[in-house]
Amino acid sequence: MDINEYLKKKERRIAKRMVRLRDVSVFDFNYVPDSPLLREELKLVIDALVRYEKTGIANNILIVGSRGCGKTLSLRYLQELFRARGMTIHYANCRLTNTSYKILAHLLRVRARGVSFDELAARFADTCQHKAVVILDEVDLLSPKDRDKDILYFLSRSTSNYMTILLSNNPGWATGLDGSIQSSLQPEHIFFRPYTVPQLADILQSRAREGIRIATGPTIKEIAARTAKHANSDVRIALKTLYYWALEPGVGLGDNFERARRDVVVDVVRSLNEKNLLILKAGAAGERQAKDVYESYRRLCIRYREEPYSYQHFHTSLTYLQSLGLTLLMSTKVNRSFAKTMQLTFPVEILDEFLRLRFGQ
């Protein structure tokens, strides 16, 4: 078979499979459905926004929830909804604009150079002298170089009473905040619980209705159950499994789930810093007690010339890594007391590849 023949054969095969799909775009992770599933905790956010809309008294909010639990989607949806009601509501993702300065420049839609943060802040205050909501997504990814987190201070101290909504999948993030920011921001903490199996099934069902031509039968429930049990209810993994299942009729659901999980895990591991990569590597030797993993982590830090986290910080990172679906933390009975154990939830080869890339060995 020559190259042309091979290409044509491949094309025919893919075209045949694509017939099973009605609309591929609904499987894009940035797709916003017309009517997302309403989780109970979101009502608290809606209530606060309505209160602000009516009274102008701001109630800042910090939403914490694990990966793929719908934080971004829910808030982007509310942004559109409240915009249509006439409210000024801004959005910035701190992964893309990772300093206070860049965020303000982004909100002002300017390419600021040679202007100080204070000047930008004054400009923002000038152009926005009325109530406005600012959503800062993935706020834990604000650069460590942005030590004072001026944006939070500015928003919470404004005389225009801006309302700030912060989103994070890192439960420990707020504890590292400066005392003066904490006291002026005083955010209400709202925790988005991992979706339950019926909630996941609901989300999958409505996506399947829009995106798939073939009947799904019991598959939706099976994907939902697997995702809740093995992927910390990350909807991305559920959606990708459904997509592969629709596209690859000959492959079993288990294999499609593993493939989806691998795709998503690779994306998450790629975004981690070196310290977290080393913590994962230290935890890769099967289920072990957290204190033993910490010892291995310290040894790895010496080997890779990294400054290790303190034990307390290491513990916060373990919780964070669990919220990303990369580790499983459990309380196990040892003698008469309980000890925390951890294990990886994904194949260590993925990690090794990134360690090689980052540390070159």
- Residue 92 contacts residue 106 (beta carbons within 8 Å): yes
Instruction: CB nearer to Mg ion: give 72 or 158.
Output: 72
Mask for 15-54, x = binds ligand ATP (CB under 6 A): --------------x-x-x--xx-----------------
Q: Does 73 participate in binding ligand ATP (rule CB under 6 A)?
A: yes
Confirm if 164 and 136 have CB atoms less than 8 A apart. Answer: yes
Size of the site for Mg ion (CB under 5 A): 1
Beta carbon nearer to ligand ATP, 71 or 281: 71
Q: Which is nearer to Mg ion, 75 or 355 (CB)?
A: 75
Q: Quick one: what does residue 240 bind among ligand ATP, Mg ion, none, with the CB cut-off 5 to 8 Å set by partner type? A: none
Residue 30, token pair as written in the block: 């940035």
The answer to whether the CB of 176 falls within 8 A of the CB of 25 is no
Dist. CA 13–CA 174, nearest whole Å:
50
Tell whether residue 168 is a contact of Mg ion (CB under 5 A). no
Residue, CB closest to ligand ATP: 70
Which residue, 185 or 235, is less far from Mg ion as judged by CB? 235
Rg, C-alpha atoms of the chain: 23
Q: Is 271 exposed, middle or buried (0-12, 13-18, 19+ CB in 10 A)?
A: exposed
Return the number of the residue (137 or 258) whose C-beta is nearest Mg ion.
137
256 binds Mg ion (CB under 5 A): no
Alpha helices in the chain (DSSP H): 3-18, 42-55, 71-84, 100-108, 117-127, 150-157, 179-185, 197-211, 219-230, 235-247, 253-270, 274-282, 290-304, 311-323, 348-359
20 phi/psi in degrees, rounded to 5? -70, -15
Q: How far is the CB of 59 from ligand ATP (least distance, A)?
A: 21
- Contact letters for ligand ATP, residues 238-277 (x by CB under 6 A): -x--------------------------------------
Q: Tell me the closest approach of the beta carbon of residue 255 to ligand ATP, in angstroms.
A: 22
Q: Are strands 61-65 and 163-168 parallel, antiparallel or unpaired?
A: parallel
The span of 65-73, 139-147, 217-225, 301-309 binding ligand ATP (CB under 6 A) equals 65-73
Among 72, 98, 158, 232, binds Mg ion (CB under 5 A): 72
Q: Report whether 191 contacts 65 (CB < 8 A).
A: yes
Judged by CB under 6 A, the residue of 203, 220, 224, 279 near ligand ATP is 203
Interface of this chain with ligand ATP, residues 117 to 146, rule: CB under 6 A: 138
